[in-house]
Amino acid sequence: MEIGSVTTPFGRRSMTLGMLANQVMAGEIKPDQSVDKWKLFRALCEAKPLLGIGDRALAVLNALLSFYPKNELAEENGLIVFPSNIQLSLRTHGMAEQTVRRHLAALVEAGLLLRKDSPNGKRYVRRDRAGEVNEAFGFSLAPLLARAEEIEQLAAAVMAERLHVQRLRERITLCRRDIAKLIEAAVEEEIPGDWQGLHGEFRDLIEGLPRTPTAAQLELLLHELEALRTDILNRLEIRIKSAKQRGNANYIERHIQSSNPESTSELEPGFEPKQGAMAEQDKGREAEMLEEGRREAAQSRQEESRHSGGRNDGGGLKSFPLGLVLQACPEILAYGPDGVIRNWRDLMAAAVIVRSMLGVSPSAYEEAANVMGPENAATVMACILERGGHINSAGGYLRGLTRRSEKGEFAIGPMLMALLRANAPAGRKAG
C-alpha cells in the first residue's frame, strides 16, 4: 500500500515547491477513481506539446506503464512501479541509462511522476507473508491518475487545434487555386488590368509564410488571400457587366460583317449607304473597283506563285484584290516597307508590325493565318487597324473572327465594303 506522507528526494536532489504541490495533488485522488492506462497514455501523446515533454520522455513513461501489472490505474491496486534503470533501458529498446535518468527527471519536472525514494535511493518493494505489497519505493503514477481529466482535456484541445489548422490549410489551398486561375483567365482573355502586379502580390503573400506557421499566421494569410480574391473577382465582374452593356461580341460582329460575302445589307454602324442617286453611283464605282481589283489580284497571285511555288488561302475564304484592300484600309500603308505596300508580301509584313502594336499575341495571329490564310489574316489585321478606335481588345476580336471563320460564319467582303465607303473620298493608292 502507498503511504500518504510527503516524501523528499534521496541524495543531493533538492526538494521544491513544485514537487510538494504535485504530492498534495496526488493525495486528492478519489477512492473509486480509475483510468485505463493505455488510453491515458494516448491522450498524453496528443497533449505533449502543452505538457512540455518530448517523444523520448514518452518512451520512458511507456516503459514505466508496462511495469504496472493492471490495465486500470487505481489507488486500490497501488500506484508505485520500481523497475531498475537497466530494465527501463531494455524496454526502451536500448536507450542509454544516462538518457533514461534525464527523461525520468523531465517527467517528474512536468508533474507526471512522483519519486518515492527509499532510505538508500534504491527501488524495491516489501511484501507481507501473503505476498501482498506492503511498501514500495520507486516512481508513483499517482499524478497521472490525479490529472487524467486535465490530460484528456488538453489532448482534446490539441486535436481541435490540429483540425482547425488542417481546415485553414484547405481553405488557403482553395483560395490560392482560385486566385491563380482567375489571373490566368484574365491574362488569357486579354482583359485590361495590372494582372502582373496582382500576381506579384499573390506570390509575396505565399512566400512570406513561415515554414511551420501557427494557426494565427494561417488565419492572417487566409484573410489577405480572400481579400485579394475578392478584388480580382470585382474587377472581372465589372468587366462582365461592361461587356453586357455594350452587347456581346457576336452582336457587334454582325454589324461589322455578314456571313454572305456578296451581301452588303449589314454594314458598320456609321457607314450606312447613301440614299437615291448617290447610292447608285457608289454601286457603280464599287463594281469598277472590284473588276479592276480582280485583274490586279490575278497578276499578284501569279507573281506570288512564282516566289512561293503556289499558295492556297486557308479556311475557304475569298481573297480580295490588294488594291481594294489598300483603298479600304489606307492606314496600313504607313507600316509597309518605306511607307509603301507593293504586294501581298509587304502587306503581311506590315500586318505583323500592326499586330505587335495593337497587343495581339503571336499565337492569335498565327491561328488566324492558319484558318483564314495569310493574305486574309493580313487583310483582317488591316481592317482592325482601320477601326482601332471602336475595338477594345484587338486580340480577343481577332480570335472571335477566327472561330467564326472555322465555322464558315465569317466573310471579309462586307467589312471591306463598309470601310471602302468610309474611306473612298480620301482613298490612297498603293505605291
**Residues whose CB is less than 8 angstroms from the CB of residue 53 and which lie 6 or more positions away in sequence, other chains included:** 44, 106, 107, 110, 112
Angle between helix 413-423 and helix 374-386 axes, rounded to 10 deg: 40
Query: Can you say whether the dihedral through the CA atoms of 141, 142, 148, 150 is positive or negative?
Result: negative
**What are 244-298's pLDDT values in tens digits?**
665 544 444 444 444 343 333 333 333 333 334 444 544 454 455 445 444 544 4
Residues of the chain by 3-state class (helix, strand, coil), percent to 5: 65, 5, 30
Rounded distance between C-alpha atoms, residue 139 and residue 146, angstroms: 15
Cell representation of residue 321: 484584290
Residue 262's nearest CA partner among 416, 423, 425 is: 416
Rounded distance between C-alpha atoms, residue 95 and residue 59, angstroms: 10
Instruction: Give me the residue label for grid cell 509575396.
Output: 204
Are 367 and 402 in contact by the 8 Å Cβ rule? The answer is yes
Give the pLDDT score at 96.
93
Rounded distance between C-alpha atoms, residue 66 and residue 59, angstroms: 11
Model confidence pTM above 0.75: no
Least confident window among 34-43, 48-57, 265-274, 299-308: 265-274
Give the pLDDT score at 59.
93
**CB atoms closer than 10 angstroms to residue 371:** 20
Q: What are phi and psi of 44, to 5 degrees?
A: -60, -40
Rounded distance between C-alpha atoms, residue 84 and residue 70, angstroms: 19
Residue 37's nearest CA partner among 12, 80, 74 is: 74
Top-confidence range, 171-180, 181-190, 400-409? 171-180
CA distances from 265 to 30, 77, 410, 413 (A): 99, 103, 15, 11
The mean predicted confidence, pLDDT, of the chain is 77
Question: Distance from CA of residue 431 to its chain's centroid?
Answer: 54
DSSP for residue 274: P
